[in-house]
């Protein structure tokens, strides 16, 4: 709104200006022309001439580029992720009928909490087998001790002792195997002939229940998935760094990022590991980073992030970010080409912008450009560009 008002006033000032044969184009107070850039670039460069009072009215400021220490950055995108150890899928270790499901998705689960129970006759049979072998083992242990004593006193027969010892060791092995199977399946070891008729499914971690694949009464086969749990305590960032930037990235560098769902809020982290495998499709590697501090709202695996990695400090010439202008998809700055008592002539030069920080952007110009010469338009370049565009429109109209 303010810019439009100033441009309107500019038009009035220009329209009221007295003509100058050398510098003015008819009665507009500006002179537009094109000339080739004295460099490897072949595109024509536009110039514009304004009167001194126009420069003062528009607040156009001219100066030199400033040497700045600006952080070099590598742009990156990625997702919030979890290490494999923080997500667990619980499968049915035995076939059976799900008796009761105690929880619902989204609940916070503590380690050891019961999620469900499964019933099957095989659960009872396995405990029964264990008890049978246990009693046989206990009997053979006593008989082995008795036969050993008799043999040592030359009262018993060595062959009988050897037979008992063999049976005793076999029972010991069977008992150990059955005990291991019961522990593996999570079935309590029977005590005093007390047998359970169900298998209890408990949570092995603290975390959130994110999926339930069964319901009360359903029959499941051994190996079928039952529950999925996730521990959010170890969330991290999986960032993508393209091939051209790999050499710039290393552990310990700082990351600044924002969530796609929370634009405007910037968070920080630190790179912990840099991947060593290049993805053939994206030509990028995965970089892992940990949060400096978790934000005060819920983060979920799979959330998209974007940001940059600070790879170092660059000492380079910089200009105010607003002094770099765009025209036809390219970047330009204005420089003062020449002036006399009442007229200023500006030239528009192509520029390669670099990093931006604190309102300043580093620039790269053609070889021979004098960065410290006070001829760069630092403020008000927008109005010069507007006049150029208006001139382009007038020339196009006249051509038709």
pLDDT computed for residue 366 by the predictor: 84
Angle subtended by helix axes 2-15 and 381-399, to nearest 10: 60
Q: Which residues of the chain have pLDDT under 70?
A: 1-45, 156, 295-297, 391-400
- Measured distance CA(368)–CA(358) in Å, rounded: 27
- Tokens, residue 168: 């005793």
pLDDT attached to residue 356: 86
Residue 30's pLDDT is: 54
Contact by Cβ (8 Å): 275, 259: no
Q: How far is Cα 63 from Cα 399, in angstroms, rounded to an integer? A: 37
pLDDT of residue 266: 86
* Residue 246 in tokens: 């790999």
| pLDDT given for residue 156 in this prediction | 63
Which of 194, 75, 176 lies closest to 124 in space, CA to CA? 194
Q: Answer yes or no: pTM beyond 0.95.
A: no
> What pLDDT sits at residue 176?
95
pLDDT, residue 11, reads 47
């Amino acid at each position: 709104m303010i810019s439009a008002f100033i441009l309107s006033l500019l038009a009035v000032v220009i329209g009221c200006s007295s003509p100058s044969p050398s510098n003015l184009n008819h009665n507009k107070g500006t002179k537009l022309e094109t000339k080739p850039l004295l460099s490897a670039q072949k595109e024509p460069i536009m110039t514009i001439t304004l009167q001194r009072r126009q420069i003062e009215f528009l607040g156009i400021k001219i100066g030199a580029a400033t040497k700045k220490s600006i952080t070099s950055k590598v742009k990156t995108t990625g997702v919030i992720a979890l290490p494999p150890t923080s997500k667990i899928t619980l499968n049915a270790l035995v076939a059976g009928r799900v008796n009761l499901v105690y929880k619902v998705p989204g609940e916070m689960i503590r380690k050891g909490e019961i999620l469900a129970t499964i019933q099957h006759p095989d659960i009872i049979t396995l405990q029964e087998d264990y008890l049978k072998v246990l009693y046989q083992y206990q009997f053979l242990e006593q008989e082995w001790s008795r036969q050993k004593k008799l043999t040592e006193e030359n009262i018993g027969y060595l062959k009988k002792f050897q037979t008992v010892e063999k049976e005793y060791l076999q029972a010991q092995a069977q008992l150990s195997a059955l005990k291991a199977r019961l522990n593996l399946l999570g079935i309590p070891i029977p005590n005093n002939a007390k047998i359970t008729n169900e298998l209890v499914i408990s949570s092995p971690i603290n975390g959130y229940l994110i999926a339930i694949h069964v319901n009360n009464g359903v029959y499941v086969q051994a190996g079928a998935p039952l529950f999925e749990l996730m521990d959010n305590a170890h969330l991290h960032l999986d960032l993508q760094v393209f091939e051209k930037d790999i050499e710039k990235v290393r552990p310990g560098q700082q990351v600044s990022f924002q969530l796609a769902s929370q634009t405007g809020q910037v968070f920080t982290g630190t790179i912990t590991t840099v991947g060593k495998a290049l993805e053939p499709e994206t030509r990028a590697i995965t970089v892992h980073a940990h949060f400096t501090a978790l934000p005060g709202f819920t983060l979920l695996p799979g959330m998209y992030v974007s940001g940059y990695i600070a790879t170092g400090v660059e000492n380079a010439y910089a200009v105010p970010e607003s002094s770099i202008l765009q025209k036809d998809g390219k970047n330009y700055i204005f420089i003062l080409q020449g002036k006399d008592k009442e007229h200023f002539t500006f030239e528009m030069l192509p520029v390669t912008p670099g990093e931006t920080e604190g309102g300043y952007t580093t620039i790269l110009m053609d070889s021979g450009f004098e960065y410290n010469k006070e001829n760069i338009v630092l403020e008000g370049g927008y109005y010069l560009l507007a006049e150029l565009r208006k001139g382009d429109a007038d020339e196009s109209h006249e051509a038709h």
